[in-house]
Amino acid sequence: MGLLEGRSAVVTGAAQGIGYEIARVLGEAGASVVIGDINEDAAGQAAQRLGKLDIAATSRRCDVTDEDEVAALVAHCADRFGPVGVMVNNAGITRDATLRKMAVADFRAVIDVHLTGAWNGTRHAARAMREHGHGGSIVNISSISGKVGNFGQTNYSAAKAGLIGLTKASAKELARAGVRVNAVQPGLIRTAMTEAMPREAWDAKMTEIPMARAGEPAEVAQAVLFLASDMASYITGAVLEVTGGRYM
């Protein structure tokens, strides 16, 4: 029996990258998985890849900034696999620029996707979890930049820091309903996006990591699995850093 056997999980922004890896790891632990992503075609392809791994998976287009679309995503989970038991708010974007050059629209877009999106996901998943009466686990994907701030990312750093406040406040509100809310803060994770950065920038970041290596997407996903499972049954409002010791 897997850690999530018999449960249904929704993962936003899961068509690729860390989100897809989270969906895969939760699925291999026994969960039926719903992939929500604004890129409908990519989401469908991701669900097909999971199906080839013998994971029960489906997908639905979802703009996490649209409350109705998030509500529909959670309802789609109930229709296909049963009430949501695990909600992972992972969807995110970047619009990097220095404070002086950043457009207000780019600041608002990043805040809206990361923070409003996670609020929508938390709100609708929690409502469903309360209604079916068996509790559940919500995991928000923050970032170490929400702890220390990144140059050229005032929008992203603010959004990821805001996710911590959202996590802790909602954890207090939902605890009596048996719904746990936690956050994961990844550091430098090896993805197509990070590997495309200039070599000097990569090397500079590596010097900040006591474990002297980048993390792998599966290592973030395994942290999410732990928080989603009954192994973390007495953990709520916590922030788990997956950083190799960076900025400890």
- What are 164-209's pLDDT values in tens digits? 999 999 999 999 999 999 999 999 999 888 888 889 989 999 999 9
pTM for the model stands at: 0.97
Contacts of 35 by beta carbon, 8 Å cutoff, 6+ apart: 11, 14, 15, 19, 20, 23, 43, 46, 47, 50, 57, 58, 59, 60
What are the structural domains of the chain?
8-242 (3.40.50.720)
156 is catalytic: yes
pLDDT in the model for residue 195: 85
Strand 57-61's sheet: what is its strand order?
Answer: 57-61, 32-37, 8-12, 84-89, 136-141, 179-186, 239-242
Q: Which pLDDT band, with edges at 50, 70 and 90, does 69 fall under? A: very high
In sequence order, which residues have a C-beta less than 8 Å from that of residue 39 and are 6 or more positions away? 15, 61
Q: Taken in order 32, 59, 68, 221, is the CA torsion positive or negative?
A: positive
In what helix (H) or strand (E) does residue 57 lie, and over which residues does it extend? strand 57-61
Give residue-wise pLDDT tens across range 30-65: 999 999 999 999 999 999 999 999 999 999 999 999
Which of the following is catalytic: 20, 156, 234, 247?
156
Residue 119, pLDDT above cutoff 90: yes
Q: What is the pLDDT of residue 194?
A: 86
Predicted pLDDT at 49: 98
State the average pLDDT for the chain: 97
Please tell me the predicted confidence (pLDDT) of residue 81: 98
Q: Answer yes or no: is pLDDT of 12 > 90.
A: yes
For residue 232, the model assigns a pLDDT of 98
* Predicted local distance difference test score (pLDDT) of residue 158: 98
pLDDT at 95: 96
What pLDDT does residue 192 have? 82
Dist. CA 207–CA 202, nearest whole Å: 9
User: What's the confidence (pLDDT) of residue 43?
Assistant: 98
The number of angstroms, rounded, from the C-alpha of 221 to the middle of its chain's C-alpha atoms is 9
The answer to whether the beta carbons of residues 157 and 145 sit under 8 Å apart is yes
CA 152 remoteness from chain centre: 22
